[in-house]
Amino acid sequence: MKFGVIIFPGSNCDHDAFWTIQQVAKQPVTFLWHESHDLENCDAIIVPGGFAFGDYLRTGAIAKFSPVMESVRRFAGSGGLVLGICNGFQILCEAGLLPGALIRNIGLKYVCKAVNVRVENAATPFTNACSQGQVLTIPIGHMEGNYFCDQATLEQLRRENRIVFRYATAGGEISVEANPNGSLENIAGICSPGGNVVGMMPHPERASEPVLGGTDGIKIFQSMVGALVTHETSSA
């Protein structure tokens, strides 16, 4: 089992994700350079947060053309696990691996704080260590985290149970007050039709150790490890 963390010019959460996988989840991990097509036989790919290519044009618009993303598309198409965090979520939407777009926060201000998100689908490879409806406290840090899609896409996401996380109160209530960025229906994370690609705005790597103030985020990585172990066992 091996994880890969992509590095784009402007990535600034790549080392955080690497540390969490290596030191907390205790799994092999390598960095993947954006100009390379080689995913180095990784079993899961992390598209980390940051400001890929300085967020020029719009978030993720340039990163989607990186050679590594061609390989990520093929990898995802074959069922490989791909997690996009914050800027990584934006890149996955721009690359067409997830529907919709992340636009400017409704208050037009950068928001950086801990938020509560409710697990809407605990059956994905990224949430199997969580329980349905569980509320996780995970930090956000973004200017363009306002998820938007057209009505047809929204209905499809609902119908196919592809809304993975929603911003909520500590008690699990979905409310306007709990929404930090104006995101459509409080959406904080979604998945692909096959469930093997997830994009989320909150940063689980920033809530993976007690020293960081919380450990709810490690459940995302534990879920991925569990899913990969199950896959390896069933394939043996």
Catalytic residue positions, numbered: 86, 203, 205
CA separation, residue 207 to residues 114, 181, 191, 227 (Å): 9, 20, 21, 20
Tokens of 75: 């990898």
Helical residues (DSSP H) of the chain, grouped into ranges: 14-19, 67-77, 87-94, 151-159, 218-235
Tokens of 149: 């899609």
CB 75 within 8 A of CB 45: yes
Nearest Cα neighbor of 6 from 42, 32, 44 is 32
- State CA 94 to chain mean position distance: 14
Tokens of 226: 């569990």
Exposed / middle / buried, residue 25 (Cβ in 10 Å: 0-12, 13-18, 19+): middle
Radius of gyration of the chain (CA): 16
**Is 223 in a helix, a strand, or coil?**
helix
